[in-house]
Amino acid sequence: MFAVPSMFWKFDLHSSSHIDTLLERDEVTLKELMDEEDILQECKAQNRKLVEFLIKTECLEDLVTFITEEPPQDMDEKMRYKYPNLSCELLTSDVSQINDRLGEDESLLKRLYGFLLNDSPLNPLLASFFSKVLSILISRKPEQIVTFLKKKDEFVNLIIKHIGTSAIMDLLLRLLTCIEPPQLRQDVLNWLNEEKIIQRLVELVHPSQDEDRHSNASQSLCEIIRLSRDQMLQVQNSPEPDPLLATLEKQEILDQLLSNIFSTEKNESTIVSAIQILLTLLETRRPAFEGHIDLCPPGVNHSIFSVNKTVLTAIQQKLPSFHQLLLDHPKADIMKTTWGILDPPVGNTRLNVIRLIASLLQTNTHSINLEFIELNTIGVILDMFFKYTWNNFLHTQVEICIALILASPGETADCVNSEQNSVGDHILLKHLFLKCHMINRILEAWAMNERTQSDGGQRYGYMGHLTRIANCIVHSIEKGPNSKLAHQLLKELPSDTQERWEAFCTGSLGETNKRNTVDLVRYDRDRFTIVDHYNNQSQAALRILEVVCECQIITIDFQKESGVTVIGLSMDLRRYEWKVSVRSASAVQLYINFLCKRPTQRLDFDHSLFAVCPNPWRDFDYSCRGAYYKACNGPFWRSGRLEASWGCSKDRGAVSEDDGIDLRLSHEALRQIYLSGLHSWKKKFIRFKNGILTGVFPASPSSWFIVVVGVTSASIYSKVDPSFGLVEKINHTLSTAGYMSMTSQTQNIVSGVLFGTGLWVALFATMRYSLKTLLSYHGWMFAEHGKMPTTTRIWMGLVKLFSGRKPMLYSFQSCLPRLPVPPVKDTVKRYLDSVKPLMDEQQFNRMNGLAKDFAINLGPRLQWYLKLKSWWATNYVSDWWEEYIYLRGRSPIMVNSNYYAMDYLYVLPTRIQAARAGNAIHAILLYRRKLDREEVKPLMINNTIPMCSAQYERMFNTSRIPGIETDTIQHMRDSKHVVVYHKGRYFKVWMYHDGRLLKPREIEQQMQHILEDKSEPQAGEEKLAALTAGDRIPWANARKTYFANGKNRQSLDSVEKSAFFVTLDDTEQGYNKEDPVTSLDNYAKSLLHGKCYDRWFDKTISFIVFKNGKMGMNCEHSWADAPILGHLWEYVMATDNFDLGYTEEGHCKGEINPNIPPPSRLQWDIPEPCQNVIEDSLTVAKALADDVDFHSFPFDVFGKGLIKKSRTSPDAFVQLALQLAHYRDKNKFCLTYEASMTRLFREGRTETVRSCTIESSDFVLAMVDPTQTTEKRIKLFKIASEKHQQMYRLAMTGSGIDRHLFCLYVVSKYLGVDSPFLKEVLSEPWRLSTSQTPQQQVHLFQLDKFPENVSSGGGFGPVADDGYGVSYIIVGENLINFHISSKFSSPETDSHRFGNNIRQAMIDIMDLFKGSTNNSNKGNK
Task: Report, as residue numbers or ranges, the catalytic residues.
Answer: 1117
Distance CA 379, CA 762 (A): 96
Distance CA 1181, CA 716 (A): 77
Cβ atoms 409, 364 nearer than 8 A: yes
Element (H, E) at 476: helix 463-479
Element (H, E) at 342: strand 340-342
Cβ atoms 1094, 1086 nearer than 8 A: no
Q: Is the peptide bond before 616 cis (omega within 30 degrees of 0)?
A: yes
| Rg of the Cα atoms in the chain | 40
Reduced to 3 states (helix: H, G, I; strand: E, B; else coil), residue 230 is helix
Cβ atoms 172, 158 nearer than 8 A: no
Distance CA 745, CA 729 (A): 15
Which backbone phi and psi does 641 adopt, to 5 degrees?
A: -130, 140
- E strands of 458-586, at which residues? 527-532, 552-561, 564-572
Helices (H), 641-743: 667-695, 701-716, 726-736
Which backbone phi and psi does 913 adopt, to 5 degrees?
A: -60, -50
Q: What is the edge-to-edge ordering of all strands in the sheet holding 1160-1161?
A: 1160-1161, 985-990, 977-982, 1061-1064, 1101-1105, 1111-1115, 899-902, 1354-1356
Q: How many other CB atoms sit within 10 Å of the CB of residue 626? A: 16
For residue 977, the cross-strand partners are 990
Spacing of C-alpha 1226 from chain mean position: 44
Largest CA distance in the chain: 129
Cβ atoms 982, 1106 nearer than 8 A: no
Distance CA 258, CA 315 (A): 8
Q: Is 550 left (phi over 0), alpha (psi -120 to 50) or beta?
A: left
Nearest Cα residue to 1090 out of 1071, 1125, 1064: 1064
Element (H, E) at 1211: helix 1210-1226
Which backbone phi and psi does 997 adopt, to 5 degrees?
A: -70, 140
Sign of CA dihedral 56, 61, 64, 66: negative
Q: How many other CB atoms sit within 10 Å of the CB of residue 793? A: 11
Residues 6+ apart with CB under 8 A from 1417: none
Secondary structure, 3-state, 1139-1178: HHCECCCCCECCCCCCCCCCCEECCCCCCHHHHHHHHHHH
Reduced to 3 states (helix: H, G, I; strand: E, B; else coil), residue 414 is coil
Distance CA 331, CA 347 (A): 9
Cβ atoms 1247, 1296 nearer than 8 A: yes
For residue 1111, the cross-strand partners are 1105
Distance CA 426, CA 481 (A): 11
SS3 content of the chain, % helix, strand, coil (to 5): 55, 10, 35
Q: How many other CB atoms sit within 10 Å of the CB of residue 233? A: 17
DSSP codes joined into one string, 1109-1129: S-EEEEE--TT--HHHHHHHH
